[in-house]
Amino acid sequence: MNDASLVSIIALLGWLVLALGAYRSHQISASKTIRTILIWGCIFLGVALVFTAIM
């Protein structure tokens, strides 16, 4: 791992912290958060399966 990739990983972690802080500021319940995560996970999995089947 070189310096550029290390800086990139640290920057991405910083953006993740900012995004999670912004999300938590909306005070969304845990059950709605889990439901949203599962729905988006299914969407991405479905798209990945479609692209895998095409190629």
Is it the case that residue 48 has pLDDT exceeding 90?
Answer: yes
Give percent of the chain above pLDDT 90: 78
pLDDT at position 45 is 98
Q: How far apart are CA 34 and CA 36, in angstroms?
A: 5
pLDDT at position 8 is 94
Mean pLDDT in the chain? 93
Amino acid letter, residue 1: M
Q: How far apart are CA 4 and CA 51, in angstroms?
A: 31
Q: How open is the CA angle 42-45-49, to the nearest 5 degrees?
A: 135
